[in-house]
Structure formats: C-alpha cells, structure tokens
Structure 1
Amino acid sequence: MDAKSFSGLVSQALDNLPDEFLDLLENVEIVVEDYPSLRQRRGSKRNELLGLYEGVPLTERDTHYGLVLPDKITIFQKPIEAICRTDAEIIDQVEKTVRHEVAHHFGMTDVQLDEIEEGWSKEG
C-alpha cells in the first residue's frame, strides 16, 4: 500500500474515535513512519512494534505540566502490513493500533489494553 493511502487509513481511524476522546487529544502529534527507529524499538525486532505513544499520559500530568513539546503517536506502516494478508486486515489493524496508542495517552497500560483487546477479538 502506498504511504498516502496508509496515512488516509490512520486519519480515518482517528475520525472514527468518539468526539469525547478527540476533544482531549490536544498537543498530540500523530505521524506515520515505515519502521520504528532503533531508539523507538528498545530491544524489539523491526517488525514487532506496530505503534508507539511517546509522551506524558493525561493521568500523570499535574498542575506544573505545561510548555512542553507535543506528545507523539507513531503508527508503523511496514510492520502492520507484514502481519496482514489483505487490505481489510490492514484497515482493521490500523484501527486497533490507533485506538491502542490513543488509550496510552489517556493513561491505560498495556496490561489493561491486552484485556480489552482480548474482548474485542472474542466479539469479532
């Protein structure tokens, strides 16, 4: 899939989020990269990391939080494509990955998200 089409999927996934969440995504940069950098991988293999939230979750901010660089959510195109066989699977995985990384912005841990995502797979 070309980069423009993939970026469009990420934009669509963001548009599909409830307005209550979108309204709280202030000062968050959302980007698409082919692969994570060595720093972003932190010991993971090149194709293991599908997305990454870098920042201070809303639940950890206090009254002294301000004048900071934007939080950053990166969605990695090539690892997502590597685990998907069809365009429909790519669309589904982008949706899941965007929700997962946005949830980190709201303070959810990987353990909490694993439990929720397990429920999603049982529903679908």
Structure 2
Amino acid sequence: MTHPLPETIAPSLELIEQLAHDAVANLPDPWREPATHVVLRIEDFPPEEMLEAMDLNDPFELTGLYEGIPLTEKSVHDQPMHPDLIWLFRRPILDEWAERGDVSIGELITHVVVHELAHHFGWSDEDIARIDRWWE
C-alpha cells in the first residue's frame, strides 16, 4: 500500500493550530505578548448555531471569527464570561488556500489570525497593513 507524501496531505487541525500560534509569536511588539492572552480554537467547521447567528448558510464562507469584547470597548466593570477567543475553521481555510494557489498555508493562517486580532485590538486598516502586507 502506498502512502501519500506529506506535502499532499491536507494540513491537520494540529498543524493549523501550530501555524496560528506561530503567527502570534511573530507579531511585532507591542502586540505579541497581549495576543498570547487570546485563546485560539481550531475546528473543521463553524458550529451550526454560529452560522445561524451570523445569518450564513454556507459553512465555507467563514474562515475565522473573533469572539470577545474588543479592548477598545472593554471596561473594568465588565465581568468576562470566557476569555477572548479566535476561532479558525480548517476546511474553509483549506478551501480558500486551494482556490488561491498563490500563498502558503502559513501565510493564509497568518492573514486570518491578524484579521481576527484586528477585531480584538481595534486596529485600523493602516494598523493591519503594517502587520499583514496582504491588507495593503
């Protein structure tokens, strides 16, 4: 029995998670350390209730989602129900990666992570462009 070569196997949930952590570790100061406090959660697809809440019918439309209160809106009076969270959805990410064909999976994961962190930190488009060249 022939086994597929590693580069022909779709990246696993574990690899996507490692690439997401690498994206955070490679953020410039002063963002790197605070970004480590945002939980990364990797799933194959968004949960059905999340799609319904966002009025989406196709689970492939959502590659990532920030769930939390942006730092620009937080108050000392807020009682957090759970830590700030970034969801990454493996199958929609892989679909976009295959359709693009011009970026590495690591570059795409970094792009999605930076986009979701922008919601957390309240970054402007200019802030995002300084961190993620795709945004320009």
Does TM, normalized by the shorter one, top 0.5?
A: yes
Indicate the residue corresponding to 1:51 in structure 2: 64
Indicate the residue corresponding to 2:106 in structure 1: 91
Give how far 1:27 is off.
4.5
DSSP 3-state at the match of 1:61: coil
TM-score (norm 2): 0.73
Question: Over aligned residue pairs, what C-alpha RMSD do you find?
Answer: 2.8
Q: How does 1:10-29 map to 2 (within 5 A)?
A: 10-25=20-35, 27-29=37-39
CA distance in 2, matches of 1:96, 1:26: 16
2:16 matched to 1:6? yes
Structure 2 unaligned spans of 5+: 1-10
Structure 1 unaligned spans of 5+: none
TM-aligned CA distance change 1:65 to 1:43, over 3 Å: same
TM-score (norm 1): 0.79
2:53 matched to 1:40? no
Structure 1 stretches of at least 4 aligned residues deviating more than 6 Å after TM superposition: none
The structure whose Rg is larger is 2
CA distance in 2, matches of 1:10, 1:53: 14
**Percent sequence identity over aligned pairs:** 34
AA at the equivalent of 2:34: L
